[in-house]
Chains A and B, each alone.
Chain A
């Protein structure tokens, strides 16, 4: 195997565009998104609601809503998987790539036992007998640290707490030994102490199984603690992409800086925060040029003339801002 093939990323997204078809014309909600996730790393996708994070995830899984159309390229293990036929996608989904959703109560079937739901994907994808699947399911529940897994196999979802349900979701996600897990706001519905447990568990499984994780969250703290690389999205675009250490030590896009300024830090007690003014405009009312320009404190006339490209500022650190070099913000 050549060196390139070894270091080739597990997931490689190039120029992904997603639009919704409307009577008045298409509305583009994800715009030339490109990033890649190397094997065994956590890639954080951050941004506020409506920034296009979840649609990006759904397009990787091939489960976009019917009115949405995706263009571009998503390569998984070197093969194109965007707009693959349903049959072909089914052999990847749940087996090679699996997903953990935000709300574990609505993503588990309330009338089926935990054990059945954990076994289901294995029986569909793997050449295992029912007995083997049963034993493996118990092992999986054990590996996500559910106490007395044998007994829990016969429980229904409503008998478990939110944190335990999310553990079951994770057990289901890793059942077929996938190489990529997409976690879309996996802890938003959970309490802080439980959130820490779940994120630590995902991180531990990643390390043990050499998994790649796409972690979608609005919580920059979770990204700081767990991700290797982070992309910040705004209005359907990646505005900044960098190794996590870089983005928190020297963010190079005014939107990222605005997000960090919005978090109350210890040392700033009593000092007013500097939030981003206004709110995210709807996708049909974005300003010309840079899409953040109407809320940006660094805006100059050139910003609204043409949309800036996502450019590499320092090695591995990209920003979609023409004044990126001037950003000197530090924590």
Chain B
């Protein structure tokens, strides 16, 4: 029995207490230290669900993506795909896993082979997984290109002939070629102009509806994550600090970091104007005050206790000593937050 014919459970992929430490030495004879890129992350993605992962640079989003797709092994913890550990799979099971879980990277300029034509790029996974007969393969590739809004006239062309948006479409077509169940998209829009971003976003959400695909959608762009996600995990310095349904999270973030992160995104809205023009738009000042002060600490030197306490406007006694666990706050079922304010124990 292979991974794809296992009985359908609603949980597609599950990460259990994932940790990834990168050891390094400080100075020539210094002691061994560890950069804790991901430090105890658990999450699950159900069928037909989009999990958004937000956080700033150094929060461990990309390392998490690499472990969930088995491109990197965790220091400890496990990734279960339909109940089976991906790090204990045999060759055959691994091939099935690789087919079911696809990844799209940030930089479409670096993730296509410059010497392969569009046809070769998209046909390769079809050949490896024997998903099309030789005589049908061209039609199948053209069909995949159509799904992402590209025409068959580009089949014999090379990546350098395309714009960033077109290349990202080609990357999506390549990921779709093997009919995956889960697509891990690591900042797929951030190299693109805003009007092109919207085109790609429409393609992704259209595919989600059509094929009932699951996504882990990693982005620093909160507007996009809010638009696309069913559930959202907020990461900070290797930990998930808050996780809940997208709507409720954006409606009322619980963790002070989430609040601050959301407050940092300038709202595009029009409020009442006064005085002579040019007049600046009035923005929600109360939100502006909550934007986090100071710098993100280096992941080499994560503060003790709550990793956010150095920037937190609401810190109190236990914050710099005790690491708050990610748990359900009283009276808010279905939500998870790692903050002493919400977890009085």
A residues within 8 Å of B by Cβ? 38, 41-42, 48-49, 161, 163-164, 191-197, 199-200, 218-222, 224-229, 243-246, 248-249, 258-266, 268-269, 272-277, 279-280, 315-316, 331
Verify B278–A244 contact, CB threshold 8 A. yes
A193 close to B196 (CB less than 8 A): no
Residues on the B chain within 8 Å of A163, using CB: 295
Q: Are B194 and A259 in contact (CB under 8 A)?
A: yes
Determine, out of B81-89, B111-119, B262-270, B327-335, the stretch whose residues face the partner at the interface: B262-270
How many residues on the B side are at the interface (Cβ–Cβ under 8 A)?
49
Of B129-137, B175-183, B218-226, the segment with at least 4 beta carbons within 8 Å of chain A is: B218-226
**Are A245 and B273 in contact (CB-based, < 8 A)?**
yes
B108 adjacent to chain A (CB < 8 Å): no
CB nearest to B246 among chain A residues:
A269
B147 interface residue per 8 A CB criterion: no
A191, B296: Cβ atoms under 8 Å? yes
One of B26-34, B39-47, B285-293 at the interface: B285-293
For the complex of A and B, the 6 pairs showing the least CB-CB separation, nearest first, are A264-B227, A275-B198, A262-B198, A221-B266, A225-B266, A191-B56
Q: Which chain A residue has the least Cβ–Cβ distance from B197? A: A262
B205 on interface, CB distance cutoff 8 Å: yes
Q: How far is the CA of A302 from the CA of B44 in the complex (A)?
A: 55
The CA of A8 and the CA of B197, in the complex, are separated in Å by 40
Selected from B201, B266, B293, the residue in CB contact (under 8 A) with A224 is B266
Chain B 190-232 against A: per-residue CB contact (8 Å), 1 yes, 0 no? 0001111111011001100000000000001011101110000
Task: Supply 9 A–B pairs (Cβ within 8 Å), ascending by A.
Answer: A196-B266, A225-B283, A248-B269, A263-B268, A264-B224, A273-B201, A275-B196, A276-B198, A279-B196
Least Cβ distance of A197 to chain B in Å?
A: 7
As a 0/1 sequence over residues 152 to 171 of chain B, the CB contacts with chain A under 8 angstroms (1 = contact) are: 00000000000101100000
Which B residues are CB-close (under 8 A) to A228?
278-280
Contact of B265 among A221, A244, A262, A269 (CB under 8 A): A221
Q: In the complex, which residue of chain A has the Cβ closest to the Cβ of B165?
A: A279
Kindly provide the distance from the CB of A267 to the nearest chain B CB, expressed in whole angstroms.
11
Q: Choose one: B194, B223, B226, B293; the contact of A218 (CB below 8 Å).
A: B194
CB of B278 within 8 A of CB of A229, answer yes
* Residue from B226, B260, B281 in contact with A266 in the complex, judged by beta carbons closer than 8 Å: B226
Instruction: Given A224-B269, A259-B194, A262-B194, verify A245-B279 contact (CB < 8 Å).
Output: yes
**Which chain A residues lie closer than 8 Å to B228 at the CB level?**
264
Which of A197, A220, A227 lies at the interface centre, i.e. has the most chain B CB atoms within 10 A of its CB?
A197
